[in-house]
Amino acid sequence: MIFSLIFCFESKAQNKVILNEEFSNNDNNWTINSDPTHIFDINNHKYIIEGKEEQRAFITTISIENYSPNFIITTEFTKISGFDNNGYGIVFGSKDENNQFEFIVSGNGQFKIIEWNNGKAVELVPWSFSSSIDKWDLSKNLLSIENSDSLWKFFINNNYVARVNEKSFLGNKIGFIVNEKIKCEINFLKITSLDFIDNEVFIDANSIFKLPIFEVNFVGKHENKEILYGESAVLKLKIQNLNSFDLKDLVLNIIPVNSTDGLYFDDFVIIDRIEANQVKLISILIKTNDNVETANQKLNLNLYDVNNKLIGMQQIDFKIVGFYTYNEKTNKFSNQNQKSYKPKNLIRKSGQSCTRGCSYISLLVLLLGLLATII
């Protein structure tokens, strides 16, 4: 592959704060009101948004001039209570509720990046699991968006989780979104403009791009690449850059071949940089829950460069051993067919799934049934 650029730019940024909102007052005219469906309020240096109705999004924005093209947006949410299977987060580049971008996370550990254009939604990044997210009630999550090098870069708790090619803003508004019955506190919102100083880094136009050497290994607690229910294992990756220039903003997409019910891993891993002629070592955690089924699993690992060109592929296979096919008495694995229990979908439309409270209801019903039998 012939490298087509004659030179590229290494950029150093000088930062200028555009907005530093700490909610000590309402000088920026955030929405403050309440009715039976929602609450918007500022109290004790927190902006509080509480949705009280299903199948609705609660959005508030303010206008900010001149925070494009290069910027960093940072905010921190505390999820107080509510649904874990829908999202809350940042609204940016907004004209109105039908024309805007959203970066949202859910209480059960997923994130999504979406564009609304004339009321039609386009998923720039679909719902994706990330171990960077602090989950459940009373969790805190720091969300950041950086626009640099013609990319939107998305961070959760300072971990680089996704990137999207830079897009034109639909408007100059910025704010927050809370979906359905969720209560959140926003601790601050900061916008920093980046003024870049470009330094040319020359690359020989006749140099041949060399594909990186890409290796992956499964490291678990058992032999023969097995992982039991309720356990974790690690994918150990080794990526070697054979070029005389750095590789930046690589995306590793992990795609399961079989069903992943009860199996959790980061769908996307962003690699910020692999320096010239250097090796990058990466560890990716995979987990199973108690409801996982026995199965042979394969994961395809696809590595993409900053232009979304495929530059590496690997496949790893391993065995998952579920609770209902494990014989505790003999400490051996059994091939007997057992009843399986699949967990509910993590993300759902209103009224189509059940939150963690359902498990407590089921337990109560079981206990009442046992009590009736004894009586």
CATH of the domain at 35: 2.60.120.560
For residues 116 and 239, membership in a common domain is answered with no
Residue 18: inside a domain, yes or no? yes
Nearest-angstrom CA–CA distance, 84 and 92: 23
Residue 38: inside a domain, yes or no? yes
For residues 24 and 158, membership in a common domain is answered with yes
Residue 347: inside a domain, yes or no? no
For residues 72 and 19, membership in a common domain is answered with yes
Task: Show pLDDT as tens, one digit a residue, over the chain (375 residues).
Answer: 434 443 444 555 568 899 999 999 999 999 999 999 999 999 999 999 999 999 999 999 999 987 767 899 999 999 999 999 999 999 999 999 999 999 999 999 999 999 999 999 999 999 999 999 999 999 999 999 999 888 999 999 999 999 999 999 999 999 999 999 999 999 999 999 887 644 444 455 556 889 999 999 999 999 889 999 999 999 999 999 999 999 999 999 999 998 888 999 999 999 999 999 999 999 999 999 998 999 999 999 999 999 999 999 999 999 999 987 655 444 554 443 333 323 233 332 332 333 333 333 344 444 445 444 445
Instruction: Give this prediction's pTM.
Output: 0.80
Residue 338: inside a domain, yes or no? no
Report pLDDT for 15.
Answer: 82
Nearest-angstrom CA–CA distance, 205 and 2: 8
Domain termination residue (choose one: 140, 174, 200): 200
For residues 249 and 158, membership in a common domain is answered with no
For residues 49 and 192, membership in a common domain is answered with yes
Of 63, 48, 96, 88, whose CA–CA distance to 191 is shortest? 63
Report pLDDT for 262.
Answer: 92
For residues 166 and 289, membership in a common domain is answered with no
What range does the domain containing 322 cover? Answer: 213-333
Residue 228: inside a domain, yes or no? yes
Residue 84: inside a domain, yes or no? yes
For residues 320 and 173, membership in a common domain is answered with no
Report pLDDT for 270.
Answer: 96
For residues 217 and 181, membership in a common domain is answered with no
The tally of domains found in the chain comes to 2
For residues 189 and 253, membership in a common domain is answered with no
For residues 103 and 145, membership in a common domain is answered with yes
For residues 168 and 41, membership in a common domain is answered with yes
Domain termination residue (choose one: 141, 167, 200): 200
For residues 132 and 18, membership in a common domain is answered with yes
Residue 181: inside a domain, yes or no? yes
Domain termination residue (choose one: 166, 200, 234): 200
Who's near 11: CB < 8 A, 6+ residues apart? 148, 149, 196, 197, 198, 199
CATH of the domain at 242: 2.60.40.10
Residue 146: inside a domain, yes or no? yes
